[in-house]
Chains A and B, each alone.
Chain A
Amino acid sequence: MKFVDEFRDPDMAKAILERIHTLVDEIPQAQERPLQIMEVCGGHTHSIFRYGLEELLPDKIELVHGPGCPVCVLPMGRVDDCVAIAEQPNVIFTTFGDAMRVPGSKKSLQQAKAEGCDVRMVYSPMDALALARKHPDKKVVFFGLGFETTMPSTALTVKQAEKEGIKNFYLFCNHITIIPTIKAILDSPDMYIDGFLGPGHVSMVIGQAPYEFISAQYNRPLIISGFEPLDVLQSLLMVLEQLKAGEAKIENQYKRIVPDGGNMQALRAVSDVFELREFFEWRGLGSIDHSGVRIRDGYAQFDAERAFALPNLKIADPKSCQCGEVLKGVIKPWQCKVFGKQCTPETPMGALMVSTEGACSAYYSYGKIDTKNIA
């Protein structure tokens, strides 16, 4: 298939892998302990497992699967809020598919649907707006979720709703931003990450500049990376090349999609509609300053947080869950106490088990427990 197979060429992968294997032996710090390279984005995690890349890499490279799966880092309290909205009369609650199974403290949206709530899966916020047009007698709520990748489409939908004077469309905004989170990880004392693969789709919106502090203040390389297996391998090679040269720069491997300056129109729509929250709660990582956005006063009429009474409770993660440590690369998924026991994809306790892009779910489904590490 055009524009896909070119980026999955096994011969080219082999050539890159050979260079990775040679290069890693020439990096002094890799001889003392494995290099830890974090792929920030869940899309990368998915690719790495889907193509079995980890197995092809030298043992001296350890991939740390970062916080970039918005479904995974959604705290239980927010899911409870979703359910509370969905349970109100006359509401059609719309969501992206993979948020359906995220466990709340009592139930998931999927369970709420089974109990009779009108919860519908949509592919875009515009689908939710179309439902609002079609059902003027219902309150249609869209569960806005995701990083800067999905933020512009939500922002444009809110603007469109305003333009059309639609009164029954609401956004439950749970959009989050990646930069403060990377910073929080870099600031945590138990962190040993040597370099990063930066999120491709987020960068398509925000561009390269917001990452500069990672090289300037923390002296770590970050490569903005595409999602095909060859993209991931090439980006890893670029990280290694910097480590060998003792450099820490921000580079863009995904130039075919990511303009250095980002997408100004998208950014404008985002800043028109949203403003930073003082802090936002992340599952597994706790509260992170300025890591989420909310709807500006100018668009208050569309804000589900203002239109509905929400429990808005902070629900602590189950004590036995070690999602946070997995996210920071302190432990591997199978080292978590509940991994594969109380916590499985059928009955996820921790968020990382929920989405296929979550590290634990990927390890579990793709059988890393069997093939490598646990008898």
Chain B
Amino acid sequence: MSKPQRTLKASTITMAHGAGGKAMRDLIEDVFVGTFDNDDLNKLEDQARFELADLQAQGQKLAFTTDSYVVDPVEFPGGDIGTLAVNGTVNDIAVSGAIPKYLSCGMILEEGLEVELLRRIVTSMRQAADEAGVTIVTGDTKVVPKGKGDKIFINTTGIGVIPAGVDISAENCKPGDKIIVNGFVGDHGAAILNARGDLALDVELKTDCQPLHGLVQAMLEVCPELHAVRDASRGGVATVLNEFAESSEVSIRLFENKIPVRDEVRGVCEILGLDALYFANEGKLVAVVPGDQADAVLDVMRAHPAGEGSAIIGEVIEGYAGRVLVQTGFGGERILDMLVGEQLPRIC
């Protein structure tokens, strides 16, 4: 199916681009369909349609998830809201052990948005989708009046296929398991904070945004019984670990000096009194692995491009069910709680 041919000449988005008429058709056909360009989408039906047999051949269960993206600023070092919208949803699927297949793309555009910026974001989405091996097969566009949105909000919903025999769940953690992360934590949160520009810090910080399905599949190959995996996006590693501890009714002990944090990120945290364990990541997962297989999983993770900096950062222990403890460099211990409200910088 060849792609539709209409072109969008406007340089900014107006209310007309959401009104259902010709202007909207120009926008959809030129910017979205023109860039995402695949048979399912090019048909311009109201929905994408899949052969069940194709999906069934690849696995036993479907994984289905949705996420909305409202990041400010929309472009930042290492990516933009488009890269996030694809990788974020891909990763939510991937950490179930599923192979991500299809995404939808819902866009809410603010009147006045530059079309050039929108084109850049949509191009990033296409690139990220290609990298992750997923197709964007259906979508929706709405335009809201100036001041009623913030440039662009994106929702993506994703479908993936879970191979037979895979059962990854936050409820599976057992005493003796090891906790592994696949590299430096906190890069994305620190990069966004810095990209907002209020801090005027002269440091190079990039988002860690990357798809994780390849890494999870590699881990499953050496350890089919991975206990729990989650991507540590909003709320960071601390939040994921608290969710694990609560769902599995176990306690988790982290070793502070084993947690990989970049010096630049530590610097931002030192200055603002924040904790990198609560910073968002967009390409980091936390895995809970049976203790006797932890080294094998770690090796395969380190050999994967998305896991070069992987490290064992803690263990699942008995007692204090639902609590995450951190052993400090001094051998002292403190509790790592869920974040209350949002992290606010201290004043002095």
**What residues make up the interface of A, taking CB atoms closer than 8 Å to B?**
1, 4, 8, 10, 13-14, 43, 46, 49-56, 70-71, 96-101, 110, 121-123, 127, 145-147, 149-150, 201, 229, 345-346, 355-357, 365-367, 370-371
Contact = CB atoms under 8 A, between A and B. Distances in A.
A357 B348 CA distance: 10
B340 A346 contact: yes
A122 B198 contact: yes
Interface of B: 198-199, 263, 266-267, 270, 273, 320, 323, 328-335, 337, 340-341, 344-348
Contact of A96 (B199, B328, B334, B345): B345
**10 cross-chain pairs, A with B, having the tightest CB-CB distances, nearest first:** A52-B332, A367-B335, A97-B344, A96-B347, A345-B340, A97-B345, A366-B334, A149-B348, A52-B334, A98-B344
A10 B335 contact: no
A82 B345 CA distance: 19
A75 B329 CA distance: 37
Nearest to B348: A149
Contact of A98 (B199, B263, B333, B345): B345
B337 A99 contact: no
Contacts of A96: 345-347
A49 B346 contact: no
20 contacts: A1-B266, A1-B267, A4-B270, A8-B329, A10-B330, A14-B330, A43-B348, A56-B332, A96-B347, A98-B344, A98-B345, A98-B347, A99-B347, A100-B344, A123-B198, A146-B348, A147-B348, A346-B341, A355-B346, A370-B320
A73 B344 CA distance: 18
Contacts of A97: 344-347
A13 B346 CA distance: 26
Given A365-B337, A366-B334, A123 B346 contact: no
Nearest to A96: B347
Contact of A56 (B266, B331, B346): B331
Contacts of B333: 52, 55, 371
A232 to B, nearest CB: 11
B342 to A, nearest CB: 9
Given A370-B320, A370-B323, A49 B334 contact: yes
Given A10-B329, A367-B337, A146 B344 contact: no
Given A46-B273, A127-B198, A229-B330, A365 B345 contact: no
